[in-house]
Amino acid sequence: MRQHTVAYLPGDGIGPEVCDVARRCVDAAGVRFGFEVGWDEQTVGGAAIDATGAALPPETLAACRAGDAVLLGAVGGPRWDDPTAAARPEDALLALRSELELFANLRPVTAHPALAAASPLRPEVRDGADILILRELTGGLYFGRPQGLEEHDGVESVVDTLRYTRAEIERIVELAFELAEGRRGRLTSVDKANVLASSRLWREVVNEVATRHPSVTVEHALVDSTAYLILTQPTAYDVIVTENLFGDILSDEAAAIAGSLGLMASASLGTRVTEQGRFGMYEPVHGSAPGIAGQGAANPLATVASAAMMLRLSLGEADAADALEAAVDEAVASGPRTADLGGSDGTAAVADFLLTRVADPAGVTA
């Protein structure tokens, strides 16, 4: 029996509820396809601050390093919102990204026909949209130093630094071309090259890497016009690659194409290559939703879809990934719906629907 180890970090708010559904789906797929996952549960975020004083305790980081992948729920909540506090839940996310070198953040966006009413876009605009946003995750404004308040000659100022090394740009761009080759062969590199020096180097690197991938059609686009076009012509995009902050903003915006942030899955891939794939961290794009935490009302689909990406990209379990994705698709098409999708069903109803399909799709009668 194939064995995998996954660091299991449910975190705060609805994190534990949605992670539990994803874990049970993965276990059910393991029974069906012949593998076992050892879940190494650890605290992170606000829960970890309460337990240890730190948002990312050393044991949690060690468990992540030791695993084949990390499954994370969400971090944060009003209890830990004090901006002057010594430790903040979001610090854990940034520390995980940088400590584990998770440089590539994949955020797929598709327009499921069953969610036409949930999206503000007209059906003829969104139908067929299928975009993979690849966001650089360990550089740019999030990590550049210096950062913070400064005072020179009595004048107070504040600084953030947008820094990239050529190698950092090259590794994300290389992956973008590889992903485009496995899809429809179109790559849009998004930057602000009419203003930013970092964007001009970014363009240069994209053009260099492009010579190694002649089958991919590449275009450069400015981030402001892309913010407009992604909603007016979403079907024009295949793979989008962009720096950290641009990717943060564009991926939330693109969720409007899908119809709900509650459906957006993500993978954050690192540099470590495992026997079955590449080490990565998997989490829903949505947050901890403290307003509905503990009520059994959370939508687990984004986390289950993230677990499917984990099975495919880090654990090499493609059949299991297909099974989870098919179950999520069916749930979106005709299954129970949580409030974010306009329904009134609970997490448990969605979980039951998914689990019966992952365990034995042939046994389900429509």
Give the nearest distance from C-beta 351 to ligand IPM in angstroms: 24
Q: Do the beta carbons of residue 321 and residue 267 sit within 8 Å?
A: no
- The residue (of 29 and 285) whose beta carbon lies closer to ligand IPM is 285
- Residue 90 binding partner per list Mg ion, ligand IPM, none, with a CB distance cut-off of 5 to 8 Å that depends on partner kind: ligand IPM
Query: What does DSSP assign to residue 16?
Result: H
Look at the block and give the residue holding tokens 């693109």: 254
Give the nearest distance from C-beta 252 to ligand IPM in angstroms: 7
- Residue 345 binding partner per list ligand IPM, Mg ion, none, with a CB distance cut-off of 5 to 8 Å that depends on partner kind: none
- The residue (of 119 and 244) whose beta carbon lies closer to Mg ion is 244
- Please tell me whether residue 253 binds ligand IPM under the rule CB under 6 A: no
Residue from 136, 248, 325, 340 touching Mg ion (CB under 5 A): that is 248
- Please tell me whether residue 248 binds ligand IPM under the rule CB under 6 A: yes
- Number of residues counted as binding Mg ion (CB under 5 A): 1
Going from the C-alpha of 185 to that of each of 69, 111, 215, the distances in angstroms are 28, 19, 7
Give the nearest distance from C-beta 282 to ligand IPM in angstroms: 12
- The residue (of 98 and 217) whose beta carbon lies closer to ligand IPM is 98
Q: Do the beta carbons of residue 111 and residue 218 sit within 8 Å?
A: no
Going from the C-alpha of 141 to that of each of 83, 145, 162, 164, 173, the distances in angstroms are 19, 8, 4, 9, 18
- Number of residues counted as binding ligand IPM (CB under 6 A): 3
Q: Which of residues 85-124 bind ligand IPM (CB under 6 A)?
A: 90, 93
Nearest-5° Cα angle at 180, 265 to 314: 45
Q: Do the beta carbons of residue 36 and residue 3 sit within 8 Å?
A: yes
DSSP letters along 311-346, please?
HHHTS--HHHHHHHHHHHHHHHHHS---GGGT----
* Residues identified as active-site: 142, 192, 224, 248, 252
- The residue (of 12 and 248) whose beta carbon lies closer to ligand IPM is 248
Q: Do the beta carbons of residue 142 and residue 250 sit within 8 Å?
A: no
Interatomic CA distance for residues 164 and 202, integer angstroms? 9
- The residue (of 93 and 180) whose beta carbon lies closer to ligand IPM is 93
Q: Which of residues 101-160 bind Mg ion (CB under 5 A)?
A: none
Q: Where on the chain is the footprint of ligand IPM (CB under 6 A)?
A: 90, 93, 248
Give the residues lining the site for Mg ion (CB under 5 A): 248
